[in-house]
């Protein structure tokens, strides 16, 4: 196997294994219709799998109308989907008309389907205080966020801990204290929060877990009793000790309905944090203690493994190449690559370590180190490519060094200056580095026939930078649904970079040996290759001719089948006194599955049939031929339900396999119309007097199903000017270029817009709408119209 093929195979195996091992073939489209949606709001969905965000990441739905949104996902047959709706976070979760959160919406995947849900209200619109009951905790999956009902008072007074203290003049606030809320306060560094929580008696003796995250110092009191301290609350920065506790604590409510939760809080670094858009308050979540503990242990284990595995892996490469430079200093790319990989190792360490420290200020310092490490890793990655692709370092490298010095100074000494502007400039800078690496790679390829050190290292750095950029888009929530549900992607880019360098090391060491072997093998195999090439050429020519013959045979068979299928359609449209009749059918492939037919006698009795066989091609043609024979054998006096029941039994007994026939039969005698349907779209009647469209929807299974099924029917009357439309599902289920479906309600609206038209003009109008909606998209299903107008 050549090194080129090996590298491509390695890339394929690293990034795309789930395509083969985890196929997801069923499409589920979820619609949410909100009764009350604030302006500029969006609807999000989250659930219990990677596609739905694993309850942590909110997936934005697609806006269909002002209050209707949709989300498309894929799953395997047998999978169970659990999900909920929000407007972006759990404080805006969907609730029922009573203000109670819904339990998890559940769907067991059996096939492609569309789900529709109505959302009466949202949590922030109805809930003004925290109410804990068994039903609510169950609906919330065992966890309740303590968002609502908090009041505050600036200052520090020990009397405020008293549960009987009158706090009616205190103002309400979200205790997270984001930048907007914080700037409205006359902040002194100390603040108290109070909340009256309603607790059902069934929960009094249950031990709950409490996750309390704060960026300052806090003391938590329940009914005047001190529960926990998080750091040391102080009246000055010197007296304060900030503590960020990531471990859950337990809480047991007293035996009374109203519980008073009070939080004494201080944060004398609040202005510094707010300027960085960091929340300066706290969040609290109540839930199952065992689950909280398990999640924390699992998180620590996974992060520790990631930190050790990926960090040590990258660090090992950094040390190895540093030693290579020490022993052979002429190869400068080893030094540059070592610094780049060391910087990447620092990035991994600081990213993971943020989940273990107990101070938000430490997190800020780690973030600073992380940012500088990213800047250095990109710079020395570019220098590595330059050193391996050029005999002499190009002059432009100086500009990249100056840029990194600028970014490092801004990050360390002036982090609050520039903000988004500096971030945007850095992203542009990273893009320029990527382009420069690509240019160097292309130059290396043009100048050298064999893969060079610079070429393959350049590819490694390109992949690493692209995945780092992808990681940034995930962290900034520009991308809310990562490929394959992987949220930590940049480390794979670093691993790929390390692997490409290893391949190059092996390649450079083996070049001489491989070249010698190639020369010997080329001489020996020259004659054999010539013979083999001639033999392959003859085999390919024979295979081509056989393929052409087979294609010609299949084309001829399909054409004959198409002619047979078209011959099943009536040669003419009957002329019935008092009625205008027009028809249209266009198949989506050589042999379609749609069918229509008429039966008319001299007594003025007209029977109209419209059908749609499953699939297309020869199988569909076979089913059409079968139903044609059954319809022709019936007389015009046959009852429509009797005909469908008999056809269902005959088709089932024929055992045609997984082939069925949807069919609608309409019997017209003077003004009276009798309709029966077997799985076809509803018949539509445009009433001339009321200018309204009446929908006749008869739900039933297609022909070929269970033997004991009786098909429904409905009778109505056609008055002068009324128009009856019978159609296959190819029209309402037509897709446009954006893969949007026309849908049945729009088809009904289109038909309703037609007034004072003949039957043929109705079809022309419908076909114009078909072309307008479809555009350049391929027609994927047959379209059939039968229009009958009462004169």
Burial class (CB in 10 A: 0-12, 13-18, 19+), 210: buried
Q: Which of 192-201, 307-316, 547-556, 603-612 is predicted with the least confidence, judged by mean pLDDT?
A: 547-556
Evaluate if residue 107 carries a pLDDT over 90. yes
φ and ψ of 379, to 5 deg: -60, -50
- Of 210-214, 494-498, 571-575, highest mean pLDDT: 210-214
Long-range contacts of 419-425 (CB under 8 A, 24+ apart): none
Determine the pLDDT at residue 606.
Answer: 92
Computed on alpha carbons and rounded to an integer, the radius of gyration of the chain in Å comes to 36
Q: What is the mean pLDDT of residues 338-361?
A: 86
Q: What is the mean pLDDT of residues 548-572?
A: 69
Determine the pLDDT at residue 620.
Answer: 74
Would you place residue 126 in the very low, low, confident or very high pLDDT band (cuts 50, 70, 90)? Answer: confident
Residue 67 tokens, joined = 């209050």
For 752: left if phi > 0, alpha if psi spans -120 to 50, otherwise beta; the answer is alpha
> What is the rounded distance in angstroms from the CA atom of residue 348 to the CA atom of residue 261?
39
Residue recorded with tokens 């089913």 = 623
Residue 683 CB coordination number (10 Å): 24
State if pTM tops 0.75: no
Size (the chain), residues? 791
Q: What is the mean pLDDT of residues 446-470?
A: 67
Residue 514 tokens, joined = 């491989």
Residue 170 CB coordination number (10 Å): 16
Give the residues across from 735 on adjacent strands: 741
Query: Looking at residue 788, what DSSP letter applies?
Result: E
> What is the rounded distance in angstroms from the CA atom of residue 143 to the CA atom of residue 289?
10
Quote the mean pLDDT of the chain: 85
Determine the pLDDT at residue 716.
Answer: 95
Determine the pLDDT at residue 15.
Answer: 44
Q: Decide which of 636 and 627 is more confident.
A: 627
Are 111 and 83 within 8 A, CB to CB?
no
- State the helix-helix crossing angle for 490-567 and 618-633, rounded to 10 degrees: 40
Determine the pLDDT at residue 476.
Answer: 63
Burial class (CB in 10 A: 0-12, 13-18, 19+), 614: middle
Torsion from C-alpha of 140, 144, 148, 151, nearest 10 degrees:
170
Are 375 and 411 within 8 A, CB to CB?
yes
Determine the pLDDT at residue 31.
Answer: 97
pLDDT tens sequence across 481-499: 666 666 667 667 767 777 7
Evaluate if residue 452 carries a pLDDT over 60. no
> What is the rounded distance in angstroms from the CA atom of residue 107 to the CA atom of residue 45?
14
Are 188 and 155 within 8 A, CB to CB?
yes
φ and ψ of 739, to 5 deg: 65, 30
Burial class (CB in 10 A: 0-12, 13-18, 19+), 533: exposed
φ and ψ of 397, to 5 deg: -60, -25
Q: Which helix (H) or strand (E) holds 774?
A: helix 759-774
**Percentage with pLDDT > 90 across the chain:** 47
Would you place residue 16 in the very low, low, confident or very high pLDDT band (cuts 50, 70, 90)? Answer: very low
Determine the pLDDT at residue 559.
Answer: 63
Determine the pLDDT at residue 508.
Answer: 66
Would you place residue 7 in the very low, low, confident or very high pLDDT band (cuts 50, 70, 90)? Answer: very low
Torsion from C-alpha of 8, 9, 11, 12, nearest 10 degrees:
120
For 419: left if phi > 0, alpha if psi spans -120 to 50, otherwise beta; the answer is left
Q: What is the mean pLDDT of residues 305-310?
A: 79
Q: Which helix (H) or strand (E) holds 404?
A: helix 397-413
The three-state secondary structure class of 97 is coil
Would you place residue 601 in the very low, low, confident or very high pLDDT band (cuts 50, 70, 90)? Answer: confident
Give the residues across from 262 on adjacent strands: 194, 221
Determine the pLDDT at residue 72.
Answer: 94
Nearest alpha carbon to residue 318 among 494, 481, 185: 494
Nearest alpha carbon to residue 459 among 398, 507, 408, 423: 507
Would you place residue 656 in the very low, low, confident or very high pLDDT band (cuts 50, 70, 90)? Answer: confident
φ and ψ of 190, to 5 deg: -125, 145
pLDDT tens sequence across 377-388: 889 888 888 887
Residue 363 tokens, joined = 């997190």
Q: How far apart are the first and last CA of the chain?
A: 78
> What is the rounded distance in angstroms from the CA atom of residue 167 to the CA atom of residue 161?
11
Q: What is the mean pLDDT of residues 738-760?
A: 89
Would you place residue 454 in the very low, low, confident or very high pLDDT band (cuts 50, 70, 90)? Answer: low
Nearest alpha carbon to residue 217 among 259, 257, 189: 189
Determine the pLDDT at residue 150.
Answer: 95
Residue recorded with tokens 């010698």 = 516
């Amino acid at each position: 196997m050549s090194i080129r093929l090996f590298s491509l195979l390695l890339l394929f195996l690293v990034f795309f294994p789930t395509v083969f091992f985890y196929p997801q073939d069923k499409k589920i489209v979820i619609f949410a219709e909100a009764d009350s949606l604030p302006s500029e709001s969006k609807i999000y969905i989250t659930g219990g799998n990677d596609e739905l965000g694993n309850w942590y990441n909110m997936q934005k739905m697609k806006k269909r109308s002002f209050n209707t949104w949709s989300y498309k996902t894929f799953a395997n047959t047998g999978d169970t989907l659990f999900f909920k709706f929000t407007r972006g976070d759990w404080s805006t979760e969907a609730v029922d008309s009573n203000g109670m959160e819904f339990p998890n919406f559940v769907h067991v995947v059996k096939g492609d389907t569309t789900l529709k849900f109505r959302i009466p209200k949202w949590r922030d619109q109805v809930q003004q205080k925290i109410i804990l009951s068994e039903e609510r905790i169950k609906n919330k999956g065992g966890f309740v966020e303590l968002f609502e009902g908090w009041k505050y008072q600036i200052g520090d007074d020990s009397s405020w801990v008293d549960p009987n203290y009158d706090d009616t003049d205190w103002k309400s606030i979200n205790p997270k204290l984001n930048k907007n809320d914080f700037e409205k306060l006359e902040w002194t560094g100390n603040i108290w929060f109070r909340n009256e929580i309603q607790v059902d008696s069934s929960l009094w003796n249950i031990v709950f877990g409490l996750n309390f995250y704060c960026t300052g110092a806090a003391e938590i009191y329940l009914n005047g009793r001190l529960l926990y301290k998080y750091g040391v609350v102080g009246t000055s920065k010197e007296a304060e000790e900030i503590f960020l506790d990531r471990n859950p604590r337990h809480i047991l409510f007293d035996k009374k309905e109203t519980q008073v939760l009070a939080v004494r809080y201080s944060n004398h670094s609040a202005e510094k944090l707010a300027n960085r858009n960091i929340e300066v308050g706290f969040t609290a979540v109540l839930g199952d203690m065992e689950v909280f503990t398990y999640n924390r242990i699992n998180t620590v284990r996974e992060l520790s493994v990631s930190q050790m595995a990926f960090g040590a892996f990258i660090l090992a490469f950094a040390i190895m190449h540093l030693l290579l430079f020490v022993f052979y200093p002429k190869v400068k790319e080893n030094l540059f690559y070592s610094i780049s990989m060391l910087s990447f190792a620092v990035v991994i360490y600081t990213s993971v370590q943020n989940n273990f420290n107990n101070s938000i200020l430490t997190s800020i310092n780690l973030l600073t180190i992380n940012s500088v490490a990213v800047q250095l890793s990109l710079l020395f990655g570019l220098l590595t490519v330059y050193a391996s692709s050029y005999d002499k370092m190009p002059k432009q490298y100086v500009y990249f060094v100056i840029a990194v010095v600028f970014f490092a100074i801004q990050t360390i000494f002036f982090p609050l200056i520039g903000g988004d502007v500096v971030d945007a400039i850095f992203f542009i800078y990273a893009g320029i580095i990527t382009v420069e690496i690509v240019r160097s790679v292309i130059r290396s390829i043009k100048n050298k026939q064999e893969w060079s050190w610079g070429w393959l290292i350049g590819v490694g750095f390109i992949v690493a930078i692209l995945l780092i950029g992808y990681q940034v888009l995930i962290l900034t929530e520009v991308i809310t649904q990562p490929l394959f549900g992987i949220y930590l992607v940049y480390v794979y880019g670093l691993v790929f970079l390390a692997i490409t360098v290893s391949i190059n090391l092996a390649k450079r060491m083996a070049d001489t040996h491989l070249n010698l072997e190639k020369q010997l093998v080329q001489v020996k195999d020259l004659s054999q290759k010539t013979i083999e090439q001639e033999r392959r050429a003859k085999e390919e020519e024979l295979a081509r001719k056989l393929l052409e013959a087979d294609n010609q045979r299949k084309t001829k068979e399909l054409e004959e089948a198409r002619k047979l299928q078209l011959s099943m359609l009536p040669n003419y449209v009957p002329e019935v006194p008092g009625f205008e009749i027009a028809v249209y059918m266009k198949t989506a492939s050589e042999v379609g599955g749609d069918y229509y037919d008429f039966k008319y006698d001299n007594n003025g009795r007209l029977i109209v049939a419209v059908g749609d066989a499953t699939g297309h091609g020869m199988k569909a043609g076979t089913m059409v031929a079968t139903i044609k024979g059954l319809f022709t054998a019936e007389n015009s006096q046959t009852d429509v339900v009797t005909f469908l029941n008999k056809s269902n039994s005959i088709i089932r007994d024929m055992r045609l396999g997984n082939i069925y026939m949807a069919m609608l039969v309409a019997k017209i005698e003077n003004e009276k119309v009798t309709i029966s349907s077997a799985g076809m779209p509803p018949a539509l009647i445009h009433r001339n007097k009321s200018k309204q469209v009446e929908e006749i929807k008869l739900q039933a299974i297609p022909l070929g199903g269970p033997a004991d099924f009786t098909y429904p029917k409905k009778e109505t009357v056609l008055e002068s000017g009324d128009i009856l439309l019978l159609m296959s599902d190819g029209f309402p289920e037509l897709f446009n270029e954006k893969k949007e479906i026309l849908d049945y309600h729009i088809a009904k609206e289109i038909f309703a817009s037609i007034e004072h038209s003949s039957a043929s003009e109705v079809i022309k109008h419908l076909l114009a709408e078909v072309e307008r909606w479809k555009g350049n998209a391929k027609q994927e299903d047959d379209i059939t119209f039968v229009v009958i107008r009462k004169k």
